[in-house]
Amino acid sequence: MFPVLFSLCVVGITHVALAGQVCPRPPEVPLATINMNKEGYSPGEEITYTCNPGYIPQSGSWRYTCPLSGIWPIITFKCMPKKCPYPGPLTYGQIHLTDLNYLSVTTFSCDTGFVLNGPTSSQCLADGSWSARLPECQVVICPPPPVSEFGALSYHKNKPGNTFVFQDIIRFECLLPFALFGSETAVCQANGRWSALPECRSVECPPPEEIEHGFINFALRNTFRYQDTVSYGCNYPYIMDGASESRCEKTGRWSNKPTCKAPCKIPVKRATVLYNGQKVKVQDHLTNGIKHAETIWFFCERKTGKCSYKTPAQCIDGRISVPSCFQERSWLSSFVKTDPADMSPCRN
């Protein structure tokens, strides 16, 4: 009886010892799977780790064997995501992404004035490629601008070509006698539309007004339209001040008309003055005065130095003032005293 009991004890102890050598389920590795996954492994059994699709080994061994101790060695195997190549560059656009790892999503956008042709996003796949091709950013195209009927409004491009693209500028003109109202230029905008377009309107001006001491040359028409002109003249000896032409403007009014300015009578009877660079006597050469805007120079005497200096006097529309320093001499005194015009000029 005793040998039998002894044998049973030995078998039991041996079974317990052998049971303690079985390796348990191995630890899980993030992003990886085991070739066979069960509750226990006998010594000598081998397992292998494989990274999931979209991931690749980063470090550590991928093969492990259950030892006699029944304790798995430290598992150093690690996986990391695959990376896709940078999808750009995107001409005239931007690529928006956080990283290039598997499952990452990138989105695309275009600069102002360009539109996206193709997918708006793409995802990094398990094989390291992108799910969608790179799109293109195409420039915005504007339609030909409308023109008014009868061809009154025309335009021309600042750049060559038959298409109108973003930031293209066109310049408008109206055929006479139409006047252009609004901006002379329009720009192709980012939304594919033109900025505000002008319009052509028919403009008429009333008959031009007469001017005092003057006349209008050949103003025989009954109707005056935009950009029509009339020319003015002055009766002798009046002088014109301002442009001789007046133009019918888009406001329906005439541009500024000139005025006729009167000549000036010299308010002295006897004097020698400087006129057009020459000394002349008023009583002999300027009996009719001088014209508007002309200037004469009076000679004044400086008592302390017995010398003379010049002071100007300008004719302004029939008015001229004699300098206060000038003293008109009588016919008799001109024989006794030296005329300031004949004195030596003062040095200062």
Residues in the chain: 348
Give residue 10's pLDDT.
37
Give residue 27's pLDDT.
93
Residues 6+ apart with CB under 8 A from 107: 95, 96, 97, 120, 121
Give residue 333's pLDDT.
65
Q: What number is the average pLDDT over the span 143-157?
A: 73
Residue 170 or residue 16, greater confidence = 170
With H, G, I as helix, E, B as strand and everything else as coil, classify residue 110. strand
pLDDT interval class at 37 (50, 70, 90)? confident
Q: Is the pLDDT of residue 18 over 70?
A: no
Give residue 96's pLDDT.
97
- Alpha carbons 65 and 67: distance in angstroms, whole number: 6
- Alpha carbons 123 and 133: distance in angstroms, whole number: 10
pLDDT interval class at 189 (50, 70, 90)? very high
Mean of per-residue pLDDT scores for the chain: 88
- Alpha carbons 32 and 41: distance in angstroms, whole number: 19
Tell me, what amino acid is at 105?
V
pLDDT interval class at 14 (50, 70, 90)? very low
Give residue 239's pLDDT.
94
* 300-327 pLDDT, tens digit each: 988 787 899 999 999 999 999 999 999 8
Residues 6+ apart with CB under 8 A from 175: 151, 152, 153, 154, 200
* 251-272 pLDDT, tens digit each: 999 999 999 999 999 999 889 9
- pLDDT-wise least confident of 114-118, 120-124, 143-147, 229-233: 143-147
* 69-88 pLDDT, tens digit each: 999 999 999 999 999 999 99
Give residue 213's pLDDT.
96
**Percent of the chain at pLDDT above 70?**
90
pLDDT interval class at 173 (50, 70, 90)? confident
In 10 A of CB 164, how many CB atoms?
20
Instruction: Give yes or no for a contact between 52 and 68, defined as CB atoms under 8 angstroms apart.
Output: no
Nearest Cα residue to 75 out of 91, 89, 64, 88: 64
Give residue 22's pLDDT.
94
Instruction: Give yes or no for a contact between 84 and 100, defined as CB atoms under 8 angstroms apart.
Output: yes
Give residue 336's pLDDT.
65
Q: Is the pLDDT of residue 128 over 80?
A: yes
Q: Which domains does the chain have, with CATH numbers?
A: 22-80 (2.10.70.10), 93-139 (2.10.70.10), 141-202 (2.10.70.10), 204-261 (2.10.70.10), 272-342 (2.10.70.10)
* 263-304 pLDDT, tens digit each: 999 999 889 999 999 999 999 999 999 999 999 999 998 878
Q: Is the pLDDT of residue 50 over 90?
A: yes
